[in-house]
Every structure is written in structure tokens, then in C-alpha cells.
């Protein structure tokens, strides 16, 4: 029984991967083929968000946190984000520049995490998180849902809100990148006895 419960968080994460494909498919049906999938989009988006909140909490509560689980969670998040953003760009709901920014931000996250992990071997987590970066990642996560709601209901006020939100996220992401790169430089200088 203990062995089965250990895999529950990873099963939730794998379910999120499947739901990500269904979400992208529903976006295409809704906005390319004009089939009414608004309820399915809302349900899938909600389930994806809830599963992202639950898998890590359950893993910590059941004491089944693992490096594989952490990597699977980040992979599932990235897959959902990239798949939904590519789909939303293709149906002309989100701008291409924002997808490029998301890809660059994720690449920077992986690179700076790896760099900082080389200087801090104490943590079991393969990734290094920062508060602003977490907030930006959370925004990356909810933008597809907001964009779908905006497009389903075609309200002008949501267009302004969505565009403002994209720019706030962009500038917050730039600031997070600055802080992460600065942390990498501090780690490098401290470990190589270079004056700061």
C-alpha cells in the first residue's frame, strides 16, 4: 500500500500532462472550428490548476518527494504552458513575442538553477526558485485560462486587462531574470574568492 501511495503525486502530474493535450485540443475546437467548448475549457483549465497545486502538497504530506517527481512536475508545467501558448498563438489570441519570452524565461530558469546548484549541493531539489520568479511562473500558468475566457466572451475590458497583464508579467520576468543572474554572479564570486 505504501508503494502505491508513493506514486499518487506523480499520477496526478501525469494526469495534468494528458489534460494539457485535451486543453490544447479544446482551444482548437473552440477558436478554429467554432465548436462551443467553453465549458470544457473552463473545466480543463481548473483541473490543470488544481492538479498543479495538489501534486506537490500531497508529495510533501505523504513524504514521497523525489527528484523524479520534481522534474516531472516542472516538465508537466512546461508542457502545459508551451502547448497552450503555441495553440493560443496559432489561433491568434496571444502574441508570438510573449511565447518567445516564456521560452527564454524558462531556459534562463533551467540555466541559472543548474549554475546555482553547482555551488549549493545541500538542497535535494534540482531547481532553485525565487519569489518573483514563482509569481511570474504562476502568471504564465493562468494566462491561457484568462485568454480563453477573454476570447470566449469577447469583452473589450478583458482585452485591455490581458494586454496589461502580459506587459506586467514581461517586466516582472525581466526583473526576476536580473535577480537570478545577479545571484549566479554572487555565487561565482564567493566560490572563487573574488571581491564583490
pTM: 0.87
Pairwise pLDDT comparison (186 vs 80), residue with the higher score: 80
The predicted model gives 112-126 an average pLDDT of 77
Question: CA 55, CA 60: separation in Å to the nearest integer?
Answer: 9
Write down the pLDDT at residue 123: 62
What structural domains and CATH numbers belong to the chain? 2-191 (1.20.120.1760)
DSSP 3-14: HHHHTHHHHHHH
Q: How far apart are CA 116 and CA 122, in angstroms?
A: 11
Q: How far apart are CA 159 and CA 150, in angstroms?
A: 7
Q: Evaluate if residue 196 carries a pLDDT over 60.
A: no
pLDDT band at 29 (very low <50, low <70, confident <90, very high): very high
- Mean pLDDT across the chain, nearest whole number? 90
Amino acid at each position: 500500500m505504501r508503494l502505491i501511495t508513493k506514486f499518487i503525486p506523480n499520477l496526478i502530474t501525469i494526469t495534468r500532462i494528458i489534460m494539457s493535450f485535451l486543453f490544447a485540443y479544446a482551444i482548437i475546437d473552440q477558436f478554429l472550428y467554432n465548436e462551443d467548448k467553453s465549458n470544457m475549457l473552463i473545466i480543463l483549465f481548473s483541473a490543470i490548476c488544481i492538479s498543479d497545486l495538489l501534486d506537490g502538497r500531497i508529495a510533501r504530506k505523504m513524504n514521497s518527494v523525489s527528484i523524479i517527481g520534481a522534474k516531472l512536475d516542472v516538465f508537466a508545467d512546461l508542457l502545459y504552458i508551451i502547448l497552450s501558448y503555441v495553440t493560443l498563438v496559432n489561433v491568434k489570441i496571444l502574441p508570438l513575442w510573449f511565447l518567445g519570452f516564456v521560452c527564454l524565461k524558462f531556459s534562463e530558469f533551467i540555466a541559472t538553477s543548474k549554475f546555482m546548484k553547482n555551488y549549493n549541493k545541500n538542497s535535494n531539489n534540482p531547481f532553485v526558485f525565487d519569489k518573483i520568479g514563482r509569481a511570474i511562473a504562476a502568471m504564465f500558468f493562468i494566462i491561457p485560462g484568462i485568454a480563453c475566457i477573454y476570447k470566449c466572451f469577447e469583452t473589450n475590458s478583458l482585452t485591455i486587462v490581458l494586454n496589461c497583464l502580459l506587459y506586467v508579467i514581461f517586466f516582472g520576468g525581466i526583473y526576476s531574470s536580473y535577480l537570478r543572474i545577479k545571484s549566479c554572479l554572487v555565487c561565482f564570486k564567493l566560490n572563487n574568492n573574488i571581491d564583490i
